[in-house]
Amino acid sequence: MAMEMVAKISESLDVAHHAQLAEFLTALGDDALILGHRLSEWCGHAPQLEEDIALANIALDEIGRANVLLMYAGQLEGLNRDQDDLAFHRDTVSFRNLLLVEQPNIDFGYTLARQFLYDVYALKLFECMGGSPNPFISGVARKAAKEITYHVRHSRSWVLRLGDGTSESHDRIQAAFDELWTYTDEMFETSESIHALIEAGIIPDGFLRLRVDWNVFVTDTLTEATLVVPDQDQFMRKGGRSGQHSEHLGHILDEMQFLARSHPDASW
């Protein structure tokens, strides 16, 4: 039923924008897929039972969203690939996720700092995308925004708790934000495809103002947590959106794709 709905909506979309929208949705799907896998690594290892369950649930939300976004991207690109093909049968250079989401789980504070930076971005992004005239995009975006509202509440509460906690928790999460900040500029890059989709009205022009809203929310939270906002003008690491990744993504894909690549003809 979902595939039939996607096909009908795709038919109503200008063919000229199929490849551009497929590229955009693939990037968002890859973000959610890789972050979901990263969070799943905490299952059975979190410092509290409640956090073990919370991070596993957030991981499931991310992977569920990846499933829908990659399904639509595969339909649009017209190469007869579904979401499983895109998740399990692409090489590192074909992934378009942010460098931020593939960074390893160094410690619990590092994970929550990474999660908070991404959560605020994702919330502002999907709130904006909820205004798309494309019914599939707007529907997925509104559902995602509801889920991510809780993700933000969770990660923000831990930033406040660790930042304004002990001297060790403060220093650790400050160090995490200092390091991870170098990956945040990439979230707001706008490619030619994105500008074309905005001009066509498929993506709301509010997309171009995401950085301002994100910066206000993050700055207010870090200040409340007695943390120092990292230097905005420091060197920024980029490349994920064009397939240039850190060594960490290769290790993730080795683990995530092993079974599917070992049995490519299996029926799941």
Query: What digits encode the pLDDT tens for the residues 63-114?
Result: 999 999 999 999 999 999 999 999 999 999 999 999 999 999 999 999 999 9
pLDDT of the residue at 259 = 92
CATH number of the CATH domain containing 87: 1.20.1260.10
Whether 267 is covered by a domain: the verdict is no
CA distance 207 to 36: 24
Residue 268: inside a domain: no
Low-confidence ranges of the chain (pLDDT < 50): 1
Residue 198 in any domain: the answer is yes
Return the pLDDT at 258. 93
Residues spanned by the domain of 224: 2-262
Q: For residue 222, is it within any domain?
A: yes
Look at residue 39 and tell me if it is in a domain: yes
- Report the domain count for the chain: 1
The answer to whether residue 64 sits within a structural domain is yes
> What is residue 4's predicted lDDT score, i.e. its pLDDT?
60
Residue 73 lies in a domain: yes
pLDDT of residue 178: 97
DSSP 41-70: TTTTTSSSHHHHHHHHHHHHHHHHHHHHHH
- The model's pTM is 0.93
What pLDDT is attached to residue 56?
95
pLDDT of residue 266: 75
Question: Distance between CA atoms of 237 and 255, rounded to whole angstroms?
Answer: 25
Please report whether residue 208 resides in a domain. yes
Residue 3: its pLDDT value, please? 55
